Amino acid sequence: MDTVEVVGEAEAVTAVPETVEPETAVPVVRRTTPPVSEVEAELGAVDWQALQGAFGPADAFPPLVRAVVGPEGPERDEALDLLWQVVNHDGALYEASLPALRVLAAVVRDEGLAEEVRSGVALLLLTMGAAHLPGEPAEQVDLQLEVLLAAQELLPGLDAAFLGGPRTLQVALLAFQAVTGEATSFAGRAAIARLVASEDPLLAAIASLAFDLVSGAVPARGAVHRPGVLDEDIRELIEDYADLTDVTLAGMVVSETAFALVDRMLTAEE
């Protein structure tokens, strides 16, 4: 019987599966949009190019505001000065002044900003909301009334800044309340009353004058003209309006006094 040789008898071969490298997962980068600040939100809500400022279209206003809330330095100081020129040049108001109020109020409320920025902008609010003497053109009087009413609407939103802010900001907002003719709220009036009893004689003096104004009274000159309490130059401001028979004139005294006090305080802290 013939033998059949089987060549290469099969051996058990264990097949090793081919190793497949897993695909490297590409990380998904989720782009998060940074929150828009209140200041930016107010700036973005207005077409500034379409509004008139002191020197034509008010499109210079947004970059000035951004410089004011930006890093400390000469550019910020210059921008703060220029802001006045755009919306309250030589005491006059413009089409852009009304929406600018909301932006400026947002700056005042931003606790992350430097004291001199918030206080300086509060003083700008003060001049824009202040009562003006009669005899100005009709269109200017109409604007003044609109700005005054808008300023009064903004007051409640400034309570927190007024109650908890630094002294310079309190003085500026104190005067802002006074010249717009009313306190922000019961809490605001209570805060003014507390400041009347302040150990700082300058702060107490302007608080006394402001309290009379927000209470609807014409301040008595003797109430704030106390020898040894007010600095000489501050007393002279009040003496310029010896007969305070008009709340408008009294408001001017508060405004001028606030400027002098805030400037004095900020200078002393440098």
How far out from the chain centre does Cα 183 lie? 18
**Residue 38, number of CB atoms within 10 A of its CB:** 15
3-state SS, residue 52: strand
Q: What pLDDT was estimated at residue 196?
A: 78
pLDDT digits (tens, 9 = 90+) for 16-50: 555 655 566 666 666 666 577 999 999 999 999 99
If one compares 57 and 157, the residue with the highest pLDDT of the two is 57
- CA-closest candidate to residue 155, choices 108, 202, 86, 205: 108
Q: Residue 221's pLDDT band (boundaries 50, 70, 90)?
A: very low
Answer whether 236's CB lies under 8 Å from 209's CB.
no
Report the mean per-residue pLDDT for the chain: 75
pTM over the 0.75 mark: no
Q: Which two tokens stand for residue 129?
A: 């909301």
